[in-house]
Amino acid sequence: MKLLDLRSDTVTKPTAAMRNAIAAAAVGDDVYGEDPTVQQLEQRMCELFEKEAALFVPTGVMGNQLCLKAQTQPGDEVIVDSESHIFHYETAAPAVLSGLQLYPLPSQRGVWSEEMLRRAIRSSAYYLPPTRGICLEQTHNRYGGAVLPLEFFEMVRAVADEHHLFVHCDGARIWNASVATGIPVSHYARYCDSLSVCFSKGLGAPIGSMLLGSKAMVQRAHKWRKVWGGGMRQVGILAAAALYALEHHIERLKQDHHNAKRFAEQIRQLPGISVDPDHVETNIVVFHLAPFLQPAATFVARCREMGVLFNALREDAIRAVFHLDVAASDVEDAVDRIKQVIEQWNDRKESQ
């Protein structure tokens, strides 16, 4: 039985062609600024995102945190979505590493009204933490890969400019947004002072993220990358994987989106499961369990026994993520296995 791993798009394995690119990579010591493949990748990213400078880092979390560190002072406050990755999954790094307080602002699938955003910005009273920046997430993980509209970016930028705030984008899956909408990544980036984007999710590279912004900001981030242990040596072998992914794995994201939509349309027909296929915009599906199938952690454990892996998102919600190691034929297989789990669950209930 084939193991169907739908926990995340980070679980992908490098393709044979990507491995060949890794093996053939020209390398140097990147701490000395001498790795030609890293330099090629950073230049390529500056062109794609139309930013002055870029810095290759091991992880998306490091990319996010370096961007925050380079644009703030301890005691500052940064507005984030209450369901954002930075708030939920980065182990309080803004507080630990940069002395920041986060203002978690609830949203509608990652989007605030202008009025809500303005209310969250602090006054200049001395006893309040100064609002210093605003963080967006594209696509939005906990909202099932939701795509934040370009008009929302424009509104946030206008408000930020009025209050002299920076705008950061956690763009871990920004390529999914671009493929889904047809909007170039540079159009989202033009409204942001900094971005952190990942190669190790939908693009299928084994390791690596990139932060982008002004030369001054990236220079400050470069220093802190070293302080935090992120300086890497012959890292061109990883940059080569990212370059290969940029050339060969962006357009194929459409297949992941198609598989996610088909999965949502089929799974909603199973008893005890609810999901809105219209909310499946990219490669992530968040589906909800009726009370008789909860808790989600137990449901996930029983699915694992059937060879299909998910992550429990909340007590009543599960996340499935589609990626290049999931074939179109795996969609029906995954649904069939979930159906069996539900049938076995009901049989156990009846026998008790």
Instruction: Tell me how far CA of residue 299 lies from CA of 169, 189, 259, 350, in angstroms.
Output: 33, 39, 22, 17
pLDDT of residue 348: 64
pLDDT of residue 343: 86
Q: What distance in Å separates the CA atoms of residue 245 and residue 51, rounded to the nearest whole number?
A: 20
Is residue 148 domain-shared with residue 176, that is, in the same domain? yes
pLDDT of residue 352: 55
* Residue 35 placed within a domain: yes
Instruction: Spell out a b/e string for 144-171, using b for 16 or more CB atoms within 10 Å of the CB, else e.
Output: bbbbbebebbebbbebbeeeebbbbbbb
Contact (CB, 8 A) for 208 and 239: yes
* Residue 241 placed within a domain: yes
* Residue 139 placed within a domain: yes
Is residue 258 domain-shared with residue 233, that is, in the same domain? no
Is residue 111 domain-shared with residue 89, that is, in the same domain? yes
Is residue 201 domain-shared with residue 318, that is, in the same domain? no
* Residue 7 placed within a domain: no
| 87-106: pLDDT as tens digits | 999 999 999 999 999 999 99
Q: Which residues contact 96 (CB under 8 A, 6 or more apart)?
A: none
Contact (CB, 8 A) for 172 and 61: no
Is residue 223 domain-shared with residue 277, that is, in the same domain? no
Count of structural domains, the chain:
2
Q: What distance in Å separates the CA atoms of residue 102 and residue 120, rounded to the nearest whole number?
A: 11
Assign residue 128 the CATH number of its domain.
3.40.640.10
306: number of Cβ within 10 Å: 17
Is residue 147 domain-shared with residue 277, that is, in the same domain? no
Contact (CB, 8 A) for 173 and 145: yes
- What is the DSSP secondary-structure string of 298-351? HHHHHHHHTTEE-EEEETTEEEEE--TTS-HHHHHHHHHHHHHHHHHHHHHHHH
Q: Which parts of the chain have pLDDT scores under 50?
A: none
Is residue 347 domain-shared with residue 280, that is, in the same domain? yes
pLDDT of residue 344: 82
Instruction: Spell out a b/e string for 29-38, using b for 16 or more CB atoms within 10 Å of the CB, else e.
Output: ebeeeebebb
Assign residue 344 the CATH number of its domain.
3.90.1150.10
Task: Give the pTM.
Answer: 0.95
Residue type, 288: H
Is residue 262 domain-shared with residue 211, that is, in the same domain? no
Is residue 80 domain-shared with residue 177, that is, in the same domain? yes
Domain that holds residue 321: 252-351
